[in-house]
Amino acid sequence: MKNIYAIGVGLIGGSLAIDIKKNNPDVVIHGISRKDATLETALSLSLIDKKATLDDLGNADLVIVSIPVDATVKLLPTILDKISDKGLVVDAGSTKVDICKVVENHSKRRNFLAMHPIAGTEHSGPTAAIKGLFVGKTNIVCEVEKTTFKLQEKALKLFSDIGMRIRYMNPADHDKHIAYVSHLSHISAFMLGKTVIEKGKNERDIFDMAGSGFASTVRLAKSSPEMWAPIFKQNRTNVIETLEEYISNLTKFKELMKDENFEAIFDEMKSTNHIKDILNGIN
Among 118, 129, 151, 158, interactor with a copy of itself by CB under 8 A: 118
Burial (CB count within 10 angstroms: exposed 0-12, middle 13-18, buried 19+), residue 157: exposed
Does residue 221 bind a copy of itself (CB under 8 A)? yes
Question: Can you count the helices (H) and strands (E) in the chain?
Answer: 13, 8
Among 47, 83, 140, 155, interactor with a copy of itself by CB under 8 A: 140
Q: Which is nearer to a copy of itself, 35 or 204 (CB)?
A: 204
Among 81, 104, 161, 203, interactor with a copy of itself by CB under 8 A: 203
Does residue 105 bind a copy of itself (CB under 8 A)? no
| Candidate ranges 9-17, 60-68, 98-106, 175-183; the one touching a copy of itself (CB under 8 A) | 175-183
Q: Which is nearer to a copy of itself, 77 or 193 (CB)?
A: 193
The angle subtended at Cα 21 by Cα 18 and Cα 23, nearest 5°, is: 110
Q: Which is nearer to a copy of itself, 56 or 241 (CB)?
A: 241
Binding residues for a copy of itself, total number by CB under 8 A: 95
Does residue 199 bind a copy of itself (CB under 8 A)? yes
Binding mask 177-196 for a copy of itself (x = CB under 8 A): xx-xxx-xxxxxxxxxxxxx
DSSP readout, 87-129? -EEEE--S--HHHHHHTTT-TTGGGEEEEEEE---S--SGGG-
| Candidate ranges 36-44, 49-57, 136-144, 154-162; the one touching a copy of itself (CB under 8 A) | 136-144
Q: Which is nearer to a copy of itself, 108 or 186 (CB)?
A: 186
Q: Which is nearer to a copy of itself, 29 or 118 (CB)?
A: 118
Question: Residue 11's closest CA among 226, 185, 190?
Answer: 226
C-alpha distances out from residue 249 to 17, 196, 269, Å: 41, 20, 12
Does residue 202 bind a copy of itself (CB under 8 A)? no
- Tell the smallest beta-carbon distance from residue 247 to a copy of itself (Å): 5
Please state, in angstroms and rounded to a whole number, the distance separating the CA atoms of residues 115 and 102. Answer: 15
Please state, in angstroms and rounded to a whole number, the distance separating the CA atoms of residues 43 and 49. Answer: 6
Question: Residue 108's closest CA among 157, 69, 152, 147?
Answer: 147
Does residue 63 bind a copy of itself (CB under 8 A)? no
Q: Which is nearer to a copy of itself, 59 or 170 (CB)?
A: 170
DSSP β-bridge partners for residue 64: 6, 90
Among 97, 162, 169, 171, interactor with a copy of itself by CB under 8 A: 169
Give the footprint of a copy of itself on residues 223-262 (CB under 8 A): 223, 225-226, 228-230, 232-233, 236, 239-240, 242-247, 249-251, 253-254, 257-258, 260, 262
Distance between terminal CA atoms of the chain? 32
C-alpha distances out from residue 232 to 14, 65, 105, 263, 277, Å: 23, 19, 25, 37, 29
